Amino acid sequence: MTNKLIIGALVMSLLSGCERSVDNDFALSLTLTSQENSADSNSQTETLDLNSTRGEYTWTYDGYHPSDDFEREKKEHFELTTEQVQSLKFFLTSQGLAQDLKEEAATGELGSSVTMSLELEMAGEKTRIDISGMSAIYGDGNGASNMENFETVEAAQELISTVKDLAGLYED
């Protein structure tokens, strides 16, 4: 009977150790800023930091807003399950977010611009994505974009939405 308890304790210890090693091989830091350049310019920055299963989400707003009592910052701490982290790893890989990529295009024109930075560590591999450019140019640009990798920015926006959903961060 005692041997079975010892073996059971060893198996549980090994399994929990394996779970921790899976958790500890994952970290990401994402900053995504969308800015509107016009007479009433404004910007929104979303920051998502995950280390293992623990995370923090921050949203800030800067610039013009018609309401004086508009909340300009929100910060939330959360914890994900190991299974949710595994799903995020699959999402990151399948959406092309686990790669090195750099694109710098002008962001100062009238219109909507975006700046994105994603640092990712997964299974001992580190990658970084830096993208900036105009998602929509007003005036002579006819709403055109000067970005080649806007689908990567959209995938990062979807990542933020997915994490907020998994962590229960959406307001009722």
Distance, in Å, from the CA atom of 16 to the CA atom of 3, rounded to the nearest integer, reads 20
- What pLDDT is attached to residue 32? 98
Per the prediction, the chain carries an average pLDDT of 85
Distance, in Å, from the CA atom of 80 to the CA atom of 74, rounded to the nearest integer, reads 19
In 3D space, the residue among 149, 101, 100, 157 whose CA is nearest the CA of residue 126 turns out to be 100
> Helix, strand, or coil here: 139?
helix
Contacts of 142 (CB under 8 A, 6+ apart): none
**Residue that wins the pLDDT comparison between 13 and 133:** 133
Mean pLDDT of 72-80: 94
In 3D space, the residue among 3, 8, 5, 50 whose CA is nearest the CA of residue 30 turns out to be 50
Q: Where are the domains of the chain?
A: 25-167
Q: State the CATH class of domain 25-167.
A: alpha beta
Mean pLDDT of 109-122: 95
